[in-house]
Chains A and B, each alone.
Chain A
Amino acid sequence: MSSNSLITELTNKEYAAGFVSDIESETIPKGLSEDVVRLISSKKGEPEFLLEWRLKAYRHWLTMQEPRWPKVHYPAIDYQDISYYSAPKQKGGPKSLDEVDPELLRIYEKLGVPLREREALAGVAVDAVFDSVSVATTFKAKLSEMGVIFCSFSEAVREHPELVRKYLGSVVPYSDNFFATLNSAVFSDGSFVFVPKGVRCPMELSTYFRINQAQTGQFERTLIIAEAGAYVSYLEGCTAPMRDQNQLHAAVVELVALDDAQIKYSTVQNWYPGDKEGKGGIYNFVTKRGKCAGKRSKISWTQVETGSAITWKYPSCILLGDDSVGEFYSVALANNYQQADTGTKMIHIGKNTRSTIVSKGISAGHGQNTYRGQVLIQKNAENARNYSQCDSLLLGDQCGAHTFPYIEVKNSTAQMEHEATTSKIGEDQLFYCKQRGISAEDAVSMIVNGFCRKVFKELPMEFAVEAQKLLGVSLEGSVG
């Protein structure tokens, strides 16, 4: 079998997580207006300041244009054809997992994310976001003993409005960009983490997102704050059911690290990528940004992006504090007709700031994979250092890899390194593996995982195992 025909065969595996569950949801009619923004805010019983913030964002959004610079193509989105709020019907909130709708729990089971097991085996606290409202938060008691707040965004608004007010929009302002501004106006829910001074969060915090209502856009908002000397590792993982209609997802994640604080944010993203012809699939337009506000603070982004029809995502670091560190480790895969335009921005402002970028792009089928990154050394950033490595791996001859690194240096003491490679999985590598008895599928999976090793090393252990499996599944059918 030729390389291309095996690639074709392996790429033809169906999306394993594709199913629609039939939990009753409360969904408001399609369309976007000031009234809708007010309705969302009132349904959630929000304080006045938040409503005002949403309205400012909405009014600003009306003046903005959807960005056209990313190297992705999709039909125009009709923002009036989207319903902006959907919540599973729940009377009161569940006090424990026993009170959670069993159908919900079954969905997580199907996805291989049994809450109970995670709870018991992995020691992971899970704030499960089903559609737009959090339905279960575990390990809360243990965390609150240490003063760690880990809850849904809505709950944070109710219980800790002063913290929300202080930090919301402090990294990604409501006027930041088209999709972030839209999110600011209509965000439904998300996660909130606050780790107080000197506390090392004793467990990995984890949220499983899942988009479930047909034609309901998801507008998650996550805010993580690590006070001086605090440490937290946060995991985000997603899958979504199969459907025909394209779905918009415009999330915002803000991280704030004060003096000597560390935030590690890991993502495994496996939203529905569309079918083999490129029909359906999620549009993932995400704004993720962290601010190393304090001295010697550190923010690490690690992402494994295998899903979505279109990915538009640049987890970034603003290195404001002296001696602060920003890291970005990424694996992005574009198979079939997927398009990914992803990368990072490292903005060096403080002295002796350091950043590392390791990006691994994999293209298969007709996939188009773009790395777009910016390293900016500001005038006062003495002795700033950056190391960037951007590698692309091509499977087959119908796909594309593109690299757009932007480097801007305004201080002559900066040290910059940039490495880039593009390679193809060679017929000779595959033959070598097969000659040792390894099947083509396992060989591809092995070669691709080898290619991504530097990034997987940065993931927490359980996540790394999942990520490897995910890459294997996502590439099934894609080589020979």
Chain B
Amino acid sequence: MTEQKSNVMISIEDLHATVDGKPILKGIDLTIRSGEVHAVMGPNGSGKSTLAHVLAGRDGYEVTQGRVTFMGRDLLSMPAEERAREGVFLAFQYPIEIPGVSNTYFLRTALNAIRKHRGIDELDAMDFVSLVKEKAELVELDDKLLNRALNEGFSGGEKKRNEIFQMAMLDPRFCVLDETDSGLDIDALRIVAGGVNALRGPERAMLVITHYQRLLNYITPDFVHVLSEGRIVKSGDRDLALHLEEHGYGWIETEPRAAETVPAR
């Protein structure tokens, strides 16, 4: 039991949050252990992206109740940059463009800020370049994109691949993937999922947020949770996702809230 407890990476308890004063999250409970991949699914407007942004510490998302403990520390009291340095990584649904700032310059600044926080020396230019090379191959990222301005003029697929590339570079402990599959064709999806799978490991945990179960054909989750109206209304394993694909989200709302078991297929 104690061993299991020490294994907990993040524990979310009774989390309530509002955006512009409107309640979105209404009591989330979720525990994720090292090495686990959890998928959160749910219809539009159920609070999936809000959960991602609250965990990452975005301004404008106000936590009104509950606690989040990350590696034994109070996550919610940390500013966004500190969460990132402690190892929380959010792969954005809509990655941001920063004109005039090269992809690698951005990444090097980020990497060194994180390394400094962790008490590791800055990477010198040579080591950085070889790390970039190694990780870029993971998601088949075109060399040309490395020296272009961050995400500027990137296609949708390139932006998503770039997110996973950054994830690989920054070596996070806990990765939140916010609808990483949206807007990807099947080839890009395969590449992105391949990158994510390569980053799975016993020391890392992932929260994969998605609307469609399609992504889960490539990234097999250990647990699947269904979010509806700001609460987790069902939890199960991979079969839950398949059931959702077959029956849509409609059946969840018609069933009583208390139902926590995985329906038989």
Let me know if B100 and A451 touch, CB within 8 A: yes
Which of B58, B89, B109 sits near A438, CB closer than 8 Å?
A: B109
Residues of A444-468 contacting chain B, CB below 8 A: 446-447, 449-454
- Picked from B83, B100, B113, B149, the residue with its CB within 8 Å of the CB of A452 is B100
Chain B: CB-nearest residue to A452: B100
Whether A436 and B106, one on each chain, are in contact in the complex, defined by CB atoms closer than 8 angstroms, is yes
* Stretch in A286-294, A364-372, A427-435 touching the partner: A427-435
In this assembly, does A121 line the interface, its C-beta being within 8 Å of a C-beta of chain B? no
CA distance A109 to B117 in the complex (A): 32
- Contact, CB under 8 Å: A432 / B92: yes
Chain A count of residues within 8 A CB distance of the other chain: 27
Write out the residue numbers on chain A whose beta carbons fall within 8 Å of the beta carbon of B80.
431, 434-435
Interface residues on B, range: 20 to 34
B59 to A438, Cβ gap below 8 A? no
CB contact list, B178-233 vs A, under 8 A: none
B120 at the interface (CB under 8 A from A): no
Distance in Å from the Cβ of B119 to the closest Cβ of chain A? 14
Option from A428, A436, A480 in Cβ contact (under 8 Å) with B84: A436
A184 to chain B, nearest CB (A): 40
Q: Within the complex, what minimum Cβ distance (angstroms) separates A441 from chain B? A: 10
Q: Are B98 and A450 in touch, CB under 8 angstroms?
A: yes
- Contacts of B89 on A, CB cut-off 8 Å? 435
Q: Once the chains bind, are B95 and A432 in contact (CB under 8 Å)?
A: yes
Chain B contacts for A452, CB-based, 8 A: 100
Contact A436 B79 (CB under 8 A): no
- Tell me which residues across on chain B come within 8 A of A449, comparing CB atoms: 100-101
B110: nearest chain-A partner, CB-CB? A436
Q: Does B99 contact A (CB under 8 A)?
A: yes
8 Å CB contact of A450 from B56, B59, B92, B100: B100
Most buried by A among B89, B95, B100: B100
Given A427-B59, A438-B113, A440-B81, CB of A453 within 8 Å of CB of B96: no
Residues in B neighbouring A99, C-beta threshold 8 A: none
Q: How near does chain B come to A457, taking the closest CB pair, in angstroms?
A: 10
B56 partner residues in chain A, CB cutoff 8 A:
431, 435
Nearest-neighbour CB distance to chain A for B238, whole angstroms, equals 29
Q: CA–CA, A451 to B99, complex, Å?
A: 6
For B81, the closest partner residue in chain A by CB is A434
The verdict on A437 contacting chain B, using a C-beta distance below 8 Å, is yes
Given contacts A446-B106, A450-B100, contact A431 B117 (CB under 8 A): no
Are A446 and B81 touching (Cβ within 8 A)?
A: no
B59-90, CB under 8 A of A: which get 1 and which 0?
11000000000000000000111011100011
Report the separation of the CA atoms of residues A435 and B170 in the bound assembly, to the nearest whole angstrom: 11
Are A437 and B81 in contact (CB-based, < 8 A)? Answer: yes
Taken together as a complex, chains A and B put the C-alpha atoms of A451 and B149 apart, in Å, by: 11
Query: Are A435 and B100 in contact, with the CB atoms below 8 A?
Result: no
Chain B residue contacts of A438, Cβ below 8 A: 81, 109-110, 113
Least CB distance from A419 to B in Å reads 13
What CA separation (Å) do A450 and B57 show in the bound complex?
25
CA distance A450 to B97 in the complex (A): 11
| A440: chain B residues within 8 A (beta carbon) | 81
Residues on B with beta carbons closer than 8 Å to the beta carbon of A451 = 99-100
A437 contacts B92, C-beta separation under 8 Å: no
Q: Which chain A residues border B95 with CB–CB below 8 Å? A: 432
Q: Contact string, B143-174, partner A, CB cutoff 8 A, digits 1/0?
A: 00000010000000000000000100010000
Give Cα A431 to B108, complex, Å: 17
Whole-angstrom CA separation of A428 from B53 in the bound complex: 11
Contact A439 B96 (CB under 8 A): no
Across-interface contacts of A450 in B (CB, < 8 A): 98-101, 149
* B241 beta carbon closer than 8 Å to chain A: no
Contacts of B9 in A (CB 8 A): none
Complex CA–CA separation, A436 to B114 (angstroms): 8
Q: Is A63 an interface residue (CB 8 A)?
A: no
Among B56, B83, B84, B109, the most chain A Cβ lie within 10 Å of the Cβ of: B109
> Bound state CA distance, A427 and B58, in angstroms?
9
Evaluate whether A437 and B117 lie within 8 angstroms (CB atoms) in the complex, with A1-B59, A427-B59, A432-B92 already known.
Answer: yes
Interface centre among A434, A436, A439, A440 (most CB of B within 10 A): A436
**Residues in A28-87 with C-beta less than 8 Å from chain B:** none
- Whether B98 lies near A447 (C-beta < 8 A) is yes
CA gap between A195 and B46 in the complex, in Å? 72
Residue in B79, B101, B117 whose beta carbon sits within 8 Å of that of A434 in the complex: B79
Which among A429, A437, A438 has the greatest number of chain B C-beta atoms within 10 A?
Answer: A437
Whether, in the assembled complex, A244 has its beta carbon less than 8 Å from a beta carbon of chain B, the answer is no
Cβ–Cβ < 8 Å partners of A96 in chain B: none
Q: Are B100 and A436 in contact (CB under 8 A)?
A: no
Q: Which of A428, A431, A432, A446 contacts B109 (CB 8 A)?
A: A446
Q: Which residue of B lies closest to A432 (CB)?
A: B96
Residues of B with Cβ closer than 8 Å to A? 56-60, 79-81, 83-85, 89-90, 92, 95-96, 98-101, 105-107, 109-111, 113-114, 117, 149, 166, 170
Q: Which 8 residue pairs across A and B have the least CB separation, nearest first?
A: A450-B100, A450-B101, A436-B110, A453-B100, A437-B84, A432-B96, A434-B80, A434-B81
